[in-house]
Amino acid sequence: MGLKITRESSLNLTLKGSVGSFRVGAGIDSQQSLEVKYFLSHVGLNFETASNTGLLSELAPVREIFDFNSLEFDEIMQRDIDDSRVSAELIPYLLDEASRDLVKLFPPIIVMLLPTHADRNHPAPLYPACFAGVVKKETPTGDHGLHVTRAGEVGHEVFQFEQPISDGQILSHDLARFKINTYRSRLVIVDGQHRAMALLAIYRNLLDQWSDEKRAPYKEYYSQWTPNYIRRFNLKEIELPVMFCTVPALADGYSGDFDLRKAARAIFLTLNKTARAVSTSRNILLDDNDLISVFLRRSLSAVKNRDARSASSFRIWNVELDQFRDKLRVQSPMALTGVSHLYYIIEHLMMDNGNVTGASARAGSFQARTKLHNCLDRLDGRNILGSEVADSIRRDHFTVDASGKLGAEFDARYGRYLIEAFENFSPFAAHNRAAINLEKRIENYQDRQLRPILFEGQGISRVFEAHRDGLRKKLSRLPDEGGFKTDVPQIEAIADRLDATNARLDSAIREFRIDRAEMWLHSISDKGTIRNTDKRPHECLVRWFDGVFQDVFTTVAFEAALVCGFFHQVERAIQPEERTADVDRFFADYMSQINGFFNPTTVSGLKRVIRLFNGEPGGETFAETRIHPSNQTFRSVIYRGEMQPDQWPKYRYLLMEIWKPSDKQLAGIVDSDRAQCRSQLFASLHQHNKNDFCRENSKPEDALQKHELEAIFTRSFDAYNGMLKNLGAEPLTKEFAVGSIEVGAAFGQDIDPDLLEPGN
C-alpha cells in the first residue's frame, strides 16, 4: 500500500463570522461590476481569544505594511494618520471613565486583503487562481459539505472562505470561517485607519509592541496611555467590527483592465466621498478615471524612484502629497510644489487649446473638458493608438493600454521637462540640495523623530504640532476640567520630550533655510557683502529669500508660467511631429536664460531681483538692509490683486521679458506676444493710476487737466520702465506707451478688468 502524502495548508489565521457579497447588477450594455466577497467579523482586546491576538499582530496602517519608497504611485491607497486626533479623541472614546455617551459604537473597519509577491513585500496585482466548489467534509453541524472559495493551491493559499452547506443551501452566517495566509498577503485598511489605530495603540501599549522600526516613530503620540491606566477598564468588552474584502474574479487568468490595487482605491474613494473629506490632492492621486491623474502619477513615480545615489536633487519629499487647508500654498518646509500644483500644470499642458496670448487671466473650466482632441494632437495619439481607439476615448473613459501608450508619450514629450524645471530652476535647485543635506544630517544623527516629520508623511508635522499643543493644554487643566487624573508626572515627561523634539525641529528647519539661501547665493562673487562674520548669509537675506520663495516661486501661478509658458510658445512655433529634436535645445536655452536672472552672480544682480519683487534695498550693507516700498515692483506694475492660479499669464509675461530665444522663428513669436502683453499691461497700469488719481482728488476722469494727465502718464511710464530695467529688458518708448493707451481706450477688452478694481 503506497504512502499517501497530503499537502499541508499555509492558512495560519482563522476568523469566525459571516460571509456576504456585493456587486452592481447588469444595466446599460448588460455590464455588471466585479463581485466583492466580504467577511464580517470583529477584533477586540480580549487576549484570551487567539484570533484577537493574531489579528492585532497583523493589522496595521498602510505606513507600516509597505515601504513607501518601494511602492509606485498607482499602488498607494492612503498613508498619513492624524495620530494626535487618535490619541486625543478616539482613544478617550474607547477608554471613557465617565461613560459620557451611554451608547457607543464604531462603524466597521474596512480591510482589503492584498496578495504579495513571493519574493518581496510588495502588493501583487492579482490573486493566484481561485477555486470555488463543494468540499465533502464532516462539519460541526453534522452536514457533509462545505462550500469553499480559495485563492491558490493547497499549500500556497492566500485566503479561503468556508461556508457550511445545510439542506443543500450554502450558509452565509452560521459557522462560516475566513482563513488567511499572513505570509503571502497583507491586510490593508482602506477605511477606518484612525479607528483601527486607536485599538492598536492600546494593544501595543499593553504588550510593549512598539519596537518595530516602522512603528517606533509614532510611539510618543500614545505614551500618555500607560498600561496601568488602560488596565483599569474592562477591555474584554471592546470589540470593533471589521469587514475583510476580496475580489475573487481578480485572479490569475483575468484578462480585463482592472486589478486589486485599483479595486482597493475604488473602495477607498467610494467610502470617502460622503465621509470626512479626503484632501483634494489625495483624491487626485487615487483617481483611475482621469487621464491627467494617470500622467501625474507617472511623473511622481519617476521622481520617487530616485534613490540616495541619484545625481538628481528633486526628490519626492519636495512634493507635498497631502495638501490641506489652503491648497494653493505648500505647508511642508521641505516641499516646493504640491500635487494640486502639478495637476494644474499638466491639465493646462494637455487640455488647453493653445491660444494663450496676452496677459489676461486664463479663462475656462478645465475640469469640464473631457474631449482629448488637444491632448491627442500633442501626444501623437492618433498614430500610436489608431484612429478608431483615439476617437473612442475621453479624459474620463480610456483603457489601460491607451493610458499606458499615451503616458509614455507624455513622459517623453512633457513629463521629463516638467521634472527638469523643478530640478534646475535656480531657486528650486538650491531648495532641493539643502533638503538633501538636511536629510543626510538627520540620518547621521539617527533622529527617528525628525525624519518622519520632515521627510515622510507630509501631514505628520501638522499632527505633531497639534498633539504637542493638545497635551500641554490638557496638562494645564484641573482634573475636573478635563485634565489628566493619573500618571501626571509621567505625562509631563512625555510633554517635555515633545518640546525637545520641537526645538530640534525648529533648529533643523532654521538650518535648512540658511543652507538654502547660501546655496542660492553661492554664485555671487563678492561674498563679503552677503555674509556675516560666521560666513553665513545675512539674516535679512535669509528672511527675504524665505518670503519670495513662499509668495512667488512656490505658487501655482509662477510654476504654471515656468512650464506652460514655455510649451505654449514652442507649440506655436513648430509642428508636433517636428518638436522632439528641437525641444531639448529650446528648453536648455530657456532655462539657461531664466537662471541668468534668477541665479545672480553679482551683488547688483541680487539687488535687481529684490527690486523686482519687493522694493528698493537700503543701507550700506546687507547686514542693515531695509527694503523700501517701490512703485516699480512686479506687483505694483503688473498685478496688484490676489495672484490666483489662473493669473499665471502675468508671470509668463515676466519670464518672456527675460527669455530671448536663439531660434529665429520661436523668437519672432515670443517677441510678438511680449509686445502684446506690454501694450495690454501698460494700458492697465495707466488706467489704474488714473483711477487712483481721480479717487484721491475727488475728480471725474473727464475733468482732468492736461498737466494732470501728463503727470499720470509719467508716473506710469517711469514705473513700467523701472521694472523693465530691473529685468534687464529693453525699455518702452513713449510712442509705444501712448499707442497702448489709445488702443486700451478704444478696446476695453485689452485692459485686464481684474487690474482696475478700486480695491486693487
The predicted pLDDT at position 660 comes to 95
Distance CA 686, CA 720 (A): 10
- pLDDT beneath 50: ranges in the chain: 1, 276, 326, 747-760
Residue with cell 466580504: 38
Characterize the bridge pairing of strands 239-246 and 176-180: unpaired
* pTM score of the predicted model: 0.76
Distance CA 668, CA 39 (A): 67
Long-range pairs for 399-406: beta carbons < 8 A, 24 or more residues apart: 399/257, 400/257, 401/257, 403/291, 403/294, 406/291, 406/295, 406/375, 406/376, 406/379, 406/381
What count of Cα atoms within 13 Å lies in the side-chain half-sphere of residue 149?
Answer: 21
Q: Are the C-beta atoms of 671 and 623 separated by less than 8 Å?
A: no
User: SS3 of 15, please?
Assistant: strand
User: Alpha helix (H) ranges present in 629-705?
Assistant: 634-637, 648-658, 664-697
The predicted pLDDT at position 577 comes to 62
SS3 of 320-337: the string is ECCCCCCCCCCCCCCCCE
The predicted pLDDT at position 757 comes to 41
Distance CA 484, CA 492 (A): 10
pLDDT tens profile 291-313? 999 999 999 999 988 766 677 88
SS3 of 619-631: the string is CCCHHHCEEECCC
Distance CA 74, CA 642 (A): 35
Q: At what angle do helices 664-697 and 648-658 cross, to 10 degrees?
A: 120
Per-residue cell: 670: 515670443
Per-residue cell: 228: 496601568
Distance CA 373, CA 376 (A): 5
Long-range pairs for 528-531: beta carbons < 8 A, 24 or more residues apart: 529/603, 529/621, 529/622, 530/603, 530/606, 530/622
Q: Considering only CA atoms, which of 262, 267, 260 is closest in space to residue 113?
A: 260
- What DSSP letter does each residue of 314-380 carry, written as one string? --GGGEESS--SSTTS--STT-SEEHHHHHHHHHHHHH--S---SSSPPPS-GGG----HHHHHHTT
Distance CA 415, CA 293 (A): 13
Return all residues near 727 (Cβ < 8 A) that are at least 6 apart: 597, 608, 612, 654, 657, 658
Per domain, the residue ranges of the chain are 13-271, 666-756
Burial label, 38 (beta-carbon count in 10 A; 0-12, 13-18, 19+): buried
Distance CA 332, CA 334 (A): 5
Residues in the chain, how many? 760
